[in-house]
Structure 1
Amino acid sequence: MKTGQELARAQQDRWQAAYEQNRWLHGAEPSAAARWTVRLFGAAGIDDVLELGAGHGRDALYLARQGFSVHATDFSESALDQLRREAQAEGLDDRVTAALHDVRDPLPPADGTVNAVYANLLLNMAFSRAELRSLVLEIRRVLRPGGLFVYTVWSTDDTGYGRCEDLGDGLATKDGFVGRYFDEGLVRELADRWELGGIEPYQEDSRRLFRITQAKPAA
């Protein structure tokens, strides 16, 4: 298996190429997770969101259309270029900013300054368990007390689980893409020192996933 740095670079190149080859790699419609999250954040009085792993922006644009200010990050410049063009075309560039960032590095916001973080299918990408723990700690750091973190991941109940080439450390690969399937134990491990609001299994198209909601303790 490649070292963490080698794997990260190879995956960045793989995703960059995929976005360059397919302008709407994930489709134009928002994910089911984004539709659900809009209702949650709206009910909580949140109006600004940090989205990690935004890709070409189908969810970021949807959030902006619903009135949220969105700071979107991804490690693919091609994906972010598309997001910026679409935001400008829709007149949403006053609500959407996009920045190149690899979440293996510290998150840019200062401590306790972010109201909500959203990450759809980011945490099940090519991260070691140590990198996942570090990322979740970073998210906790930048959230204000009481701030919300919503993320989704592939579940081990998904039909693809166990059918990909095993790379060790819970990672597997198919068609050049590397990822991880989550069980409830890993979700709860990553929720240590958080207020866990829910681990909800759901299905989108043929995929089986978890939607996780957790909050940074208020004190």
Structure 2
Amino acid sequence: MKGGDRDIIETESGVEKNIINKQQPHWEKVFESTCSRFGDEPSYPARKSAAIFEKEGKNKILELGCGQGRDTCFFVSKGFHIYSLDYTEGGLKTVEEKVRNMGLSDSIVTLKHDVRNPLPFENETFDACYSHMLYCMALTTSELEFLTSEIKRVLKPGGLNIYTARHTGDAQYKTGIHRGEDLYEIAGGFIVHFFSREKVEHLAKGYKGLEVEEFEEGELPRKLYLVMMQK
């Protein structure tokens, strides 16, 4: 099998899966070394999303891959009720401490969870789902398809799914070690899934009102898509 089919098989093979599965302990070590790896200021996607949530009356928000909480703390400060999930214990502990210091612990629920597994919530639970760079972590296309369907399941009718992902115009695309599909292990041992516009549109199947914006972040700079779609 050639091209994408071969890549998918390689990624799904035991060897590649073992490498991908090592990302969780890798992130644990990263978060142990600093409490603010990405800074404390909210990201551009968080600020834009908060404005949309306020305008449309979205209050109960699911945040996936919250990391150390720079966006989480911003959402909580704006009065939203946040359910923040991450697969690192260190990240969640940092988030809890930051929110506790803000005196707003009642506004947040934290939960350790791997998004490759079903989301632990009932159908139609949330007004919106937000994730900044979770989609471009070490997740295969089939895992992203599953995640996107799970998000749709837990969203209320008309609920929003807003996510960001590094795209194929990024300077680090096709650098480092190829791990299958458009997954590359770049400097620092991080595996990134770089998105094409076609992948964004593929994952949007079953949603409506797809909007895609390009933006840049960080010193490289990282080049990302900001994707918004509605159930």
* Post-superposition offset of 1:5: 5.0
Aligned to 1:134: 146
Aligned to 2:200: 187
Distance 1:36 1:7 in 2: 35
Identity of aligned residues (%): 33
Between Structure 1 and Structure 2, the one with more helix by share is: 2
Q: Which runs of 4+ in 1 moved over 4 A?
A: none
Aligned to 2:182: 170
Please tell me the residue identity of whatever aligns with 2:34: N
- The SS at the match of 1:122 is coil
1:112-142 Cα offsets, whole Å, 9 max, x none, are 1211000000000001111010100100111
In the alignment, structure 1 residue 199 sits paired with structure 2 residue 212: yes
In the alignment, structure 1 residue 105 sits paired with structure 2 residue 117: yes
| Paired residues of 1:49 and 1:114 also in contact (CA < 8 A) | yes
Aligned to 2:34: 22
- What 5-or-longer segments of structure 2 have no aligned partner? 1-10
Structure 2 length as normaliser, TM-score? 0.90
- The SS at the match of 2:61 is strand
- What 5-or-longer segments of structure 1 have no aligned partner? none
Structure 1 length as normaliser, TM-score? 0.95
The worse-fitting range, judged by mean Cα deviation, of 36-45 and 3-12 is 3-12
Match of 2:127 among 115, 121, 144: 115
Distance 2:104 2:28 in 1: 24
1:66-100 Cα offsets, whole Å, 9 max, x none, are 11111100000001001001110111101112110
Give the number of equivalent residue pairs.
216
Distance 1:9 1:154 in 2: 20
| Paired residues of 1:125 and 1:180 also in contact (CA < 8 A) | yes
User: RMSD of the alignment, in Å?
Assistant: 1.3
Please tell me the residue identity of whatever aligns with 1:35: R
Aligned to 2:89: 77
Please tell me the residue identity of whatever aligns with 1:77: E
Please tell me the residue identity of whatever aligns with 2:71: D
- The SS at the match of 1:140 is helix
* Post-superposition offset of 1:8: 4.5
1:5-53 Cα offsets, whole Å, 9 max, x none, are 5244311000000000111111111111101100011111111210000
